[in-house]
Amino acid sequence: MKEKITKLNGKMQKTITVLESDFASIRAGRANAAVLDRVFVDYYGTQTPINQMAAISIPEARVLMISPWDKSTLVSIEKAIQASDVGINPMNDGSTLRLNFPQLTEERRKDLVKEIKKMGEESKVAIRSIRRDTIDKFKAMKKSNEISEDDLKVCEKDVQNVTDKFVKTIDEMVAAKEKEVMSI
């Protein structure tokens, strides 16, 4: 039973990790290299992340600079960024690309907050699904007489406590990200 609770913790922690990476990819007005994590470039027939093809730096608060190690990939990187959902058009100066992050409007901030809440809710749904699957496993064990009714109740309580802890963590993460977006 303890093993199943440990697995439950691990699965729920993965959900938190995914949420963190989703939050990092939100373009919130400041230059952030994480917005490029999901952009891949066709590099000699292989889909390659930009951070493996170029140096990414932040010379100013709202500017992201991409300096490819192989200058022949500059146009490919530019096209990949334009085709992605980053929403920023890169400026090509012949040797580097610059992404200028615009100041957020109030409407865009509200849209970002909605997106953040949606991501948080999706994570909670994933957590609850993991909880349901784990409880179902315990009920199957009870049905096959591997555990007693009392053990089942204790397990259900433990699973609910772990679930509550992770849901609270998600709520805190969502609140922190909302505060960050609204303060930019």
Strands (E), the chain: 40-43, 46-49, 54-60, 63-68, 91-92, 97-100
Of 41, 42, 23, 45, nearest to 32 by C-alpha is: 23
Greater model confidence, 94 or 169: 169
Percent of residues in the chain assigned helix, strand, coil, to nearest 5: 65, 15, 20
Rounded Cα distance between 16 and 39, Å, is 22
Q: Is the pLDDT of residue 121 over 90?
A: yes
Q: pTM of the entire structure? A: 0.71
State mean pLDDT over 141-158: 89
Domains of the chain: residue spans and CATH: 2-24+105-183 (1.10.132.20), 33-100 (3.30.1360.40)
Pick from 28-37, 50-59, 98-107, 160-169: least confident? 28-37
Pick from 16-30, 95-109, 161-175: least confident? 16-30
**What pLDDT band is residue 184 in, cutting at 50, 70 and 90?**
low
